[in-house]
Amino acid sequence: LYQPIFNVFVELYNIIPGHDTGVVILAMTILVRLLLYPLTSSSIKAQKSMQDLQPKLAEIKKQHAGDTQKQTQATMELYKNNKVNPFASCLPLLIQLPILIALYMVMRDGLVSKDLATGLYAFVSNPGQLNSISFGFLDLSKDAPLLAVISGVFQFIHSKMTMAHTSVPGANSPQRGQFDMGAMNKQMLYFFPFLIIIIGWKLPAGLVLYWAVSTLFSIGEQYYIHKTVHGRK
């Protein structure tokens, strides 16, 4: 993925007025998110479907109490009959990881290189080097702790929205303990944003900017998709 992303990055840099690398990152983020939208949409709808299956999951647990193997078989059969993939919510993140790694390499090389000729396709103009200063003050080649915190806040909001639409049964509910994915989401509500801050603290600001904008885009996507799904009922 490195070379095609590198060339798209440089071509956007050539096209965008002002040659602002930060704006290029924003454009790359929107492009990636639009490409992933069909998968993201399916993932969010799968979360809703999992929530709708809660009563039936509780019934399976009650019917096969004490027999974990039968519970698992019946649960998998329920997922199959309702065409629900319990791991679908993880797919957008897993697909984004290699893109994120490639972007890290692009920014690591591109923002410090004095000559971008190596790796460019013949039809992509060579701007010589990329200006790492974006929006007039932010050096994308260096760490930006404040941006890492902002990214963590966005991640917390996104996780909170995810939990709101995949509610976990209360402590006294007969469904409690059935939906393990919901319990995991609750644990990740605070852990994942904190992890994002820790990792982003020393990463190049360009990469953290990508993650922050991508997460903000996810918040908008989730709001729109859930509004659309509920609006059809």
- Give 146-170 pLDDT, tens digit per residue: 999 999 999 999 888 877 655 444 4
Residue 162: what pLDDT? 73
Average pLDDT over residues 71-79: 83
**pLDDT surpasses 60 at 178:** no
What per-residue confidence (pLDDT) applies to 227? 75
* pLDDT surpasses 60 at 25: yes
> Is 198's pLDDT higher than 70?
yes
> Quick one: which of 191, 192, 166, 188 has its CA closest to 179?
166
Percent of the chain at pLDDT > 70 equals: 83
Q: What's the average model confidence in pLDDT over 40-45?
A: 73
Give the pLDDT of residue 83. Answer: 73
Higher pLDDT, 140 or 87: 140
Instruction: Report, as an integer, the average pLDDT of 108-115.
Output: 77
Residue 191 above 80 pLDDT?
yes
Residues in the chain: 233
For 106-110, 125-129, 174-178, which range has the lowest pLDDT when averaged over its residues? 174-178
Residue with tokens 């440089």: 10
Instruction: Looking at the chain, list the stretches that DSSP marks H as alpha helix, in order from N- to C-terminal side.
Output: 2-15, 21-52, 54-63, 68-81, 91-110, 145-165, 180-200, 205-231
> CB-based contacts of 215: which residues, under 8 Å, 6+ apart?
151, 154, 155, 158
34-38, 46-50, 166-170, range with the lowest pLDDT: 166-170
Structure confidence at residue 181 (pLDDT): 52
With b for 16 or more beta-carbon neighbours within 10 A and e for fewer, the 22-43 pattern comes to bbbbbbbbeebbeebeeebbeb
pLDDT average, residue stretch 188-214:
87
- Hey, is 133 helix, strand or coil? strand
Indicate whether 7 pLDDT > 50. yes
Average pLDDT, the chain: 79
Contacts 24+ apart (CB under 8 A), 190-194: 190/156, 192/155, 192/159, 193/152, 193/153, 193/155, 193/156, 193/159, 194/152
